[in-house]
Amino acid sequence: MAGELEFERPIVELRAKIEELRRFTSESGVDLSDEIQKLEARLEELTESIYANLTPWQRVQLARQPGRPTTLDYIRGICEEFVELHGDRNFRDDPAVVGGIGLVDGRPITLIGTQKGKDTKDNIHRNFGMAHPEGYRKALRLMKQAEKFGRPVALFIDTAGAYPGASGEERGQSEAIARNLMEMAGLRVPTVCFVTGEGGSGGALGLGVTDRIYVLEYAWYSVIAPESAAAILWRDSAQAPRAAETMRITAPDLVALGIADELIREPRGGAQKDPAAMIRTVRGKLVSALEELSALSVDERLARRYDKYRKMGVFVEA
Amino acid sequence: MLKDLFQKKRQYATLGAPETAPARVSAARSEKTDQIPQGLVNKCQTCGALLIAKELQKHLYTCPNCDYHFPLDAPTRIQVTLDEGAFFEYDAGLTSADPLPFPGYADKLRRAQQASGLREAVVTGEGTLDGHPVVIGVMDSRFIMGSMGSAVGEKIARAMERAAEKRYPLILFTASGGARMQEGILSLMQMAKTSAALRRLSDAGVLFVSVITHPTTGGVSASFASLGDIILAEPGALFGFAGRRVIEQTIRQKLPDDFQTAEFNLKHGMVDKVVHRKELRPTLSLILRVHSGRGWADGR
């Protein structure tokens, strides 16, 4: 399969060797089934141990694997029916953010997220999933609409960050993100976000102030991308693996630091190995979270959301 | 009124400085970066005029020649903004931890505390401005570039909560490079924490004035700094999301000199008014008067 990463090479090589033995068996008639069985057991062991001992940088690489489900894949897999809605009503429709309304088990829901492309052409159209201010404003428009009609909101985050360009600055990238943080803190309907791949700083947080924060097993979420951190810290973006370690950006770190409510297991080797299974898992988590959250009163939910963010941070008080 | 400010030595209320005396550097600093004026003579980084300390002070640390605004440290900002002796500091003992931990951060904090005489990159408290009670917060760019970690976020969130409780208008002077990288994701979440506290302040109907000073970028720009009911900015102050170099690399173009300045933001509708430092106190005073005013029938 294409897109294997460097650290996955031993698995690929062993699998190729087993294939070769099988071919030899069928061609020559020599029975090597014992040998093959042993190698298959070793392959299982090797695969297990590689994915059980991933370094933070290896997780970052997995989070960026093409072939992982995108936001639209999740949305289409989660909803029986879905209508995509476009535009911020101010400037334009930002293709880096998608959203709309749909039905999950016959129940209404609004779904929004950053959208990466499936190939180079699509990625250019989607600006590699990096939103402009109008993307955040479209998301806010859809969230306010959800609030008006009393339906919950699911958010999917997979972005390297908000687009750092001149056009974004002119139209108030800061204001757009800031406004979302404030408005999402007070949104009266249940809200859940999933960090499905990359959680790049303010660009991710701009869709991430919710009742629940779920992080996929190989996703990362950080105040700064590891490459940028390395460039600042050691003046060398090639030190990104070291920065990934230092910054504590992996899913287990995010749970340990009290940011993520829960880590969602991925298929072994990552969501791209079995997108359908991944989407089913996320759908199940979304439905159960919304059932729990919608059982609370609005005031109770808002109070809990406030406390959740209010408690984040570690400091010393003399 | 401004003249009165400096007629006598002002009393300055508790600022919770660490035991170590602030290490004053007397020699002129590099002109590459904006420096807070120190010592007897300072050179204006824009027009090169040599300015003696007394004169600078008289002009509220702006250049009388070209109107360049020197950065202000938090104690001086509070002194020139609030009524004399009126400041009561909040949470002076609240300081940063090293939660990740991050290599070199503990040392960096210690050095910043020694050099600035502050415990953190923001000073918060309450006082009066022309008699109007206010909650005030001032970020200090000397302290790790005014960056926001957990302690800064917590102090600002508490200030917001107190403003909501007391129904005092909140004034925040921002100066920050953004979220503090050394605290990782916890810094990022301070953006959410402070914005959530602002949601409550706003719901309580309490005024929040954000005053943008040089430089205000990144996570501070993309949270409370941009959420003022009224946003004022000092002339020439840098105010934006991404850094100039990052943007130039992204779009592969040189940016105009005025990019992300207060004036640029005014033109693009991102700030309400660019206000010369000498006009800031009168402007804030007028805003407070308008918001404390009554007179029309209240249909509520």
Q: Where do we find the tokens 């139209």?
A: A171
Burial class (CB in 10 A: 0-12, 13-18, 19+), B203: exposed
The answer to whether residue A127 scores a pLDDT higher than 90 is: yes
Furthest C-alpha separation in chain A: 79
In chain A, positions 79-118, which contact chain B (CB-CB < 8 Å)?
A: none
Low-confidence ranges of chain B (pLDDT < 70): 1-34, 298-300
- The tokens for B61 are 């640390």
Enumerate the β-bridge partners of residue A191. Answer: A153
pLDDT at A296: 98
Contact A182 B185 (CB under 8 A): no
| Contact (CB, 8 A) for B208 and B200 | no
CA atoms of A65 and A217, how far apart (whole Å): 13
Cβ contact, residue pair B226, A181, below 8 Å: no
Q: What's the token pair of residue A302? A: 């808002």
Smallest CA-to-CA distance from B221 within B146, B283, B282 is with B146
Among A172, A185, A205, beta carbon nearest to B270: A172
Residue of A nearest to B219 (CA): A202
Which residue's entry shows tokens 């991925």?
Answer: A266
Let me know: does A225 contact A130? Beta carbons within 8 Å: no
d(CA B186, CA B180): 9
Residues 252-291 of A with CB under 8 A from B: 253-254, 257, 259
**Is there a contact between B103 and A245 (Cβ–Cβ < 8 Å)?**
no
Q: Is A166 on the interface with B (CB under 8 A)?
A: yes
Go through A39-68 and write b for each residue having 16 or more CB atoms within 10 A of its CB, e for each that does not.
beeebeebbeebbeebebbbbbbbbbbeeb
AA identity, residue B13? A
Rounded Cα distance between A125 and A112, Å, is 18
Contacts of B38 (CB under 8 A, 6+ apart): B24, B25, B26, B29
Q: Name the nearest CA neighbour of B262 among B275, B245, B279.
A: B275
- Cβ-based contacts of B103 with chain A (< 8 Å): 246
Closest CB from B203, B246, B253 relative to A164: B246
Q: What pLDDT is stored for residue A276 in this prediction? A: 98
pTM value is 0.93
B268 contacts A170? CB cut-off 8 A: yes
Q: d(Cα B62, Cα A8) in Å, to the nearest integer? A: 60
The torsion defined by the Cα of A248, A251, A253 and A259, in degrees rounded to 10, comes to 100
Q: Which residues sit opposite A195 in a β-bridge?
A: A157, A215
- The yes/no answer to whether this complex scores an ipTM above 0.85 is yes
Q: Is A223 helix (H, G, I), strand (E, B) or coil?
A: coil
The reported pLDDT for the residue numbered B300 is 60
Q: Tell me which residue of B148, B131, B16, B52 sits closest to B84, measured CA to CA.
A: B131
Question: Which residues on adjacent β-strands are paired with residue B238?
Answer: B261
Mean pLDDT of A20-49: 93
DSSP secondary structure code for residue B240 in this structure: E
DSSP string over B43-109: E-TTT--EEEHHHHHHTTTB-TTT--B----HHHHHHHHSPTT--EEE-TTEEE--SS--TTHHHHH
Give the number of C-alpha atoms closer than 13 A to the C-alpha of residue B177, restricted to the C-beta side.
15
Handedness of CA B116, B121, B125, B128 (dihedral sign): positive
> Is B196's CB within 8 Å of A305's CB?
yes
Which residues are within 8 A (CB) of B249 and not within 5 positions of it... i.e. 6 or more apart? Answer: none
Taking 50 as the threshold, does the pLDDT of residue A279 lie above it? Answer: yes
Return the DSSP state at A297.
Answer: -
Domain ranges within chain B, ordered by starting residue: 32-70, 71-293
CA A198, A200, A203, A207 torsion-angle sign: positive
Which residue from A minimizes the CA distance to B180? A223
| Cis geometry, peptide bond prior to residue A252 (ω within 30 degrees of 0) | no
| Angstrom distance (rounded) from CA B143 to CA A54 | 37
| B91, B189, B259 member nearest A309 (Cβ) | B189
- Return d(Cα A242, Cα B236) in angstroms, integer: 37
Please check the confidence at residue A1 and state whether its pLDDT lies above 70: no
Residue recorded with tokens 């600042």: A232
The pLDDT, as a whole number, for residue B25 is: 30
| pLDDT tens digits, A81-110 | 999 999 999 999 999 999 999 999 999 999
Residues of B whose CB is below 8 A from A254: 185
Q: Say if the Cβ atoms of A313 and B190 lie within 8 Å.
A: yes
Q: How far is CA A313 from CA A65, A209, A259, B146, B180, in A?
A: 31, 15, 9, 17, 12
Does residue A223 have a pLDDT over 80?
A: yes
CA distance B288 to chain A (A): 23
CB contact under 8 A, B192 and A185: yes
Q: What's the CATH number for B71-293?
A: 3.90.226.10
What is d(CA A285, CA A102) in angstroms, rounded to the nearest whole number?
Answer: 17
